[in-house]
Chain A
Amino acid sequence: MGKTLAEKVWDAHIVRKGEGEGANAQPDLLFIDLHLVHEVTSPQAFEGLRLAGRKLRRVDLTIATEDHNTPTLDIDKPIADLTSRTQIETLRANCKEFGVRLHSLGDKEQGIVHVVGPQLGLTQPGMTVVCGDSHTSTHGAFGALAMGIGTSEVEHVMATQTLSLKPFKTMAINVEGTLRPGVTAKDIILAVIAKIGTGGGQGYVLEYRGSAIRSLSMDARMTICNMSIEAGARAGMVAPDQTTYDYMQGRPHAPEGADWDAAVEYWNTLHTDADATFDVEVDLDADTLEPFVTWGTNPGQGVSLSAKVPSPEDFGDENAKAAAERALQYMGLEAGTPMKDIRVDTVFLGSCTNSRIEDLRIAADIIRGRAKDPNVRMLVVPGSARVRLEAEAEGLDKVFKEFGAEWRFAGCSMCLGMNPDQLEPGERCASTSNRNFEGRQGKGGRTHLVSPVVAAATAVRGTLSSPSDLESVSAGTLTGTAV
């Protein structure tokens, strides 16, 4: 019988097969091709190595960047928050001591770890990629098996360049059809999570398939794979194709010459075989999909933008009913309110979900020639220093600034508010990030997860909106919003 993409990548990395069969099988020991490191989940791992007198086995397969704590203003000044500064300085000292490549604040390659890996060409098809960050699933867009790990596992990878892992089950997410204008990758993944639930992917590696996925750019595929973890999945993948190769070619760490040819020959084998079977298959119709937004406090609590805030009574399951009641209270929402009537205070365009160049282009296309709602503040935070430079070369920074948005430096920023970019209690935000948990963007803050398209239109109208709700502007600037 044939193999799925995930199984092929898994099998190619087995250092030592676990003994036993089925549920009683011991985990396999897998080789890790790339270990991404940032300041938050690494200090205790480096300390563990030091205490045990161990070396970092493969510094040439390890790379670090500063992202979670970094300010997005005044980056040439010392970091004001002392604990943040200490954590960053600890990463710098650890990288120096162990010989790890680090892109620090101010460096042209600094940025969110999941934006930096792909843009340097370090993320490639068929690799195993890990990082002490749950959104490592992002790298699965290249047909890599990419997983978030905890700090003990970070230390384990540092010491051994391997991980002990139990095989996963496989789930196909089939998305067939053509997305309508204004509907994007973010809407696909929010709809998938609403459909299978925040625990629906638990124990599975998801493979996104179908014509709608194939037609997506790499930036859009990364958005989808990024949020696999919000469905509880350990990883999400898309099989590599010409779109992948076109993105890869010429990047600093992409293979060259004969290596490129050998790599492509191998990458062409990285697809699920016709006679392979998935443990579960889920279908989503791209043709009928609408912009999707969340109303609650977990990423599965989402509806179409044209729908209304649901009532707890809409949920059959007692736990879901109680969760909805609690979420409505926290979010300050009443059941039955049209989603489009919800007024926001802040719009955040950024995070490892939606901060790549294409996300900025899409948003800029919508706001160009339009005025921002005066009561809304908008933060635009590029995913990396490189994305920021690229955007500035295209003049996107001017579009955002003229619109009245704040043009910031790269980092995780308001996705989780470890730096000063936070919501005030009660403040409501349309956010292109990945988690609408209570207090995620700041204590008492209220988050609606949206696509960059909806974020931009919302900044214009002040209420959750799609581009179709906007009055047209003279130059027909809405072209190019379909991704």
Chain B
Amino acid sequence: MEAFTTHTGIGVPLRQSNVDTDQIIPAVYLKRITRTGFEDALFAAWRKDESFILNQAPFNAGSVLVAGPDFGTGSSREHAVWALKDYGFKAVLSSRFADIFRGNSGKQGLLAAQVAQDDIELIWKVLENQPGTEVKVDLVSKTVECGNVVAPFEIDDYTRWRLLEGLDDIGLTLQHEEDITAYEATRPSFKPKTLPAKVQ
């Protein structure tokens, strides 16, 4: 995973709460078996509407999405994160993220920065009054900057550390393989196994 320290890019105000993962990427795009190439799928239904924010310059070149509360609710599809990244987003700001979406973001190097709703409102105003204003997201200092607004954001320390270092999860876990083997030896015999297969 690529390390993340700071990013500065055009902010996109998405004044909407409960942006669920079916909106971020409709199910029809989940049939693909690749991990990249989902940029066309991002907000596919909404992008058919000409007035949608990503159909307007300069927002179509945005890389920091500033959304309402409860972003990423619903399905566990990591495709939602892939689509945001493939489109060019590096960070999403919201006052509340769905747990699975937040987890998926952390695995893929997309920064999910939790910003207080009052600050989101201030950033929205700047972005709407001066379209094209850049947002600076600084993971080192845990702050976002947009115009004259400077606001702190929250992210758990472990995810922050992994993002800053660009660390791969599986590699980290396999450093403790002997602990896994030791645990496996203690599992009770009544725990089920899928193999050999038993059926009715």
Give A contacts to B, CB under 8 Å.
Answer: 15-16, 18, 23-24, 26-27, 29, 31, 33-34, 40-41, 43-44, 47-48, 52, 54, 57, 59-63, 68-69, 81, 83-84, 86-87, 90, 101, 108-109, 120-122, 124, 127, 132-134, 136, 148-153, 155-156, 159-162, 164, 166, 198-199, 202-203, 229-230, 232, 234, 252-255, 259-260, 262-263, 266, 297-298, 319-320, 322-323, 326, 386, 416-418, 435, 437-440, 443
Q: A15-B179, A162-B173 are in contact. Are A260 and B103 (CB under 8 A)?
A: no
Q: Is B18 located at the chain interface by the 8 A CB criterion?
A: yes
Which of B51-59, B66-74, B125-133, B135-143 is the interface stretch?
Answer: B66-74
Distance in angstroms between the alpha carbons of A115 and B99 in the assembled complex: 24
Contact B192 A86 (CB under 8 A): no
| A132: contacting residue among B76, B190, B197, CB under 8 A | B76
A81 CA / B32 CA spacing, docked (Å): 12
- Quick one: which of B23, B28, B169, B179 contacts A156, CB cutoff 8 A? B169
Residue A134 contacts which of B15, B76, B169 (CB distance < 8 angstroms)? B76
Q: Are B180 and A160 in contact (CB under 8 A)?
A: yes
A-B contact pairs, 21 of them (CB 8 A): A23-B156, A26-B158, A29-B180, A44-B34, A44-B35, A60-B194, A90-B33, A101-B195, A101-B197, A108-B199, A149-B76, A150-B76, A150-B107, A152-B169, A156-B169, A160-B173, A166-B158, A199-B73, A417-B28, A418-B30, A440-B22
A residues within 8 A CB of B190? 255, 259-260, 262-263, 266
A31 to chain B: closest residue by CB: B183
Pairwise interchain contact B199-A63, C-beta atoms closer than 8 A: no
A15 touches B31 (CB 8 A): no
Task: Give the contacting residue for B76; candidates A133, A155, A156, A443; CB below 8 A.
Answer: A133
B31, B79, B189 pick with most chain A CB within 10 angstroms: B31
Asked if B173 contacts A29 (CB within 8 A), the reply is yes
Whether B22 lies near A439 (C-beta < 8 A) is yes
Which chain B residues numbered 157 to 200 have a C-beta less than 8 Å away from chain A?
157-158, 169-170, 172-174, 176-177, 179-180, 183-184, 187-195, 197-200
- Which of B32, B33, B74, B174 contacts A435 (CB under 8 A)? B74
CA gap between A152 and B104 in the complex, in Å: 7
Q: Could you tell me if A320 and B17 are in contact, using CB atoms closer than 8 angstroms?
A: yes
B107 → chain A closest CB, angstroms: 4
Does B108 belong to the interface (CB within 8 Å)? Answer: yes
Q: Which residues of B contact A435 (CB under 8 A)?
A: 20, 22, 74-75
Q: Collect the chain B residues with CB atoms within 8 Å of residue A15's CB.
A: 176, 179-180, 183
The residue of chain A having its C-beta at the shortest distance from the C-beta of B29 within the complex is A83
A438 touches B183 (CB 8 A): no
**Judging by beta carbons under 8 Å apart, are A41 and B200 in contact?**
no
Q: Report B70-118 residues with CB < 8 Å from chain A CB.
A: 70, 73-79, 81, 96, 98-100, 103-104, 107-108, 117
Which partner residue on chain A sits nearest B35 by CB separation?
A44
| A298 CB contacts on chain B under 8 angstroms | 18, 20, 73
A398 to B120, CA, bound (A): 56
Please determine whether B33 and A86 come into contact, CB atoms closer than 8 angstroms.
yes
Docked-complex contact A148 and B76, CB < 8 angstroms: yes
The answer to whether A438 and B23 touch across the interface, beta carbons within 8 angstroms, is yes
Give Cα A27 to B30, complex, Å. Answer: 30
C-alpha spacing A468/B173, complex, angstroms: 56
B70 touches A83 (CB 8 A): no
Given A59-B195, A322-B17, also A159-B170 (CB < 8 A): yes
Instruction: With A253-B198, A443-B45 as known contacts, state yes or no: A41 contacts B173, CB within 8 Å.
Output: no
Residues of A contacting B191 with CB < 8 Å? 33, 124, 127
Contacting pair A124 B192 (CB below 8 A): yes
